[in-house]
Amino acid sequence: MRNLLARLLLVPALLFGLAGAAQAQTAVQQSASQLNAGIVCAVAANPAVNTQNTLTFTVPAGQSLYLTSVGVNVVADGTGGTTLAIGRFTSTNLQSFEIDVSFAGTVNTQLGYTTLANPAGLIKSAVGPVSATIVSPAGGAHNAYPMFACGYFAP
């Protein structure tokens, strides 16, 4: 009888021990999303000729915009183009970020300039709520200024 009682007590102890061993396995920690994945983009495509163009991000409260890429273009239409000795793309709330270009203004030509910033986002906006903008040069006869930019929001 004593042997039977010992066996009955041994079975739950073994089951409890196995359950404990199953729970003692190493947990897998999932990594957080990569912040610099370029999750927000703004595009000012197909702008009218003879018009200054503006690209705008609305930065949420308590956040900053970290730009990871910027692309600007100067395009002359089929009628002509305006020469730009220095065409300056300026910014607001982006640490005075600027891109200077020169453009011959020849009919049906395009100048494209793309910069890929450090993936950590070297170009950082002011803390929101603000509008972070990139503005093209003043409208030139027969010139258009398409632009794009991508980045992410973080504190």
Question: Per CATH, the architecture of 40-154 is what?
Answer: Sandwich (2.60)
Give CA–CA dist 41/149, Å, rounded.
Answer: 6
| pLDDT reported for residue 98 | 87
Q: Is this model's pTM higher than 0.75 or not?
A: no
Q: What is the pLDDT of residues 20-73, one digit of tens each?
A: 545 556 665 555 555 555 588 888 887 888 889 999 999 999 999 988 888 888
Give CA–CA dist 133/70, Å, rounded.
Answer: 12
Q: What is the pLDDT of residues 7-19, one digit of tens each?
A: 444 445 544 554 4
Closest CA to 44 of 139, 135, 152, 122: 135
Q: Where are the domains of the chain?
A: 40-154
Closest CA to 84 of 105, 99, 108, 98: 105
